[in-house]
Amino acid sequence: MAVQQDEMSRNAAGTHASVPVTLHGRELVPNRRMALNLDWVEEVRVNTSAVERRAATIGTRRSVKKDWQAAWLLRAIACMDLTTLSGDDSAERVKRLCAKARRPLQEHLIKALKIEELNLHVGAVCVYHAFVETAVKALEGSGIPVAAVSTGFPAGLAPLETRVEEIRRSVAAGASEIDIVITRAHVFNGEWNALYDEVAAFKDACGPAHMKAILGTGDLLTLRNVARASWVAMMAGSDFIKTSTGKEAVNATLPVSLVMVRAIREYAERTGMAVGYKPAGGIKTAKQAMEWMALMKDELGRPWLEPSLFRYGASSMLADIERQLEHHVSGRYSATYRHPIA
Active site residue 242: yes
- In this structure, the number of other CB atoms found within 10 A of the CB of residue 332 comes to 8
Q: Which of 81, 100, 179, 212 is catalytic?
A: 179
Q: Which of 100, 203, 212, 278 is catalytic?
A: 278
CB 41 within 8 A of CB 232: yes
Active site residue 278: yes
Active site residue 203: no
Residue by residue, DSSP assigns 227-265 as HHHHHHHHHTT-SEEE---S-SSS---HHHHHHHHHHHH
**How many angstroms separate the CA atoms of 76 and 245, rounded?**
20
**How many angstroms separate the CA atoms of 277 and 96, rounded?**
27
Secondary structure element (H or E) that encloses residue 171, with its range:
helix 160-173
Length of the chain: 342
The strand pairing partners of 149, in sequence order, are: 128, 179
**How many angstroms separate the CA atoms of 256 and 27, rounded?**
26
Q: Which of 100, 242, 297, 320 is catalytic?
A: 242
Which positions are catalytic?
Answer: 179, 242, 278
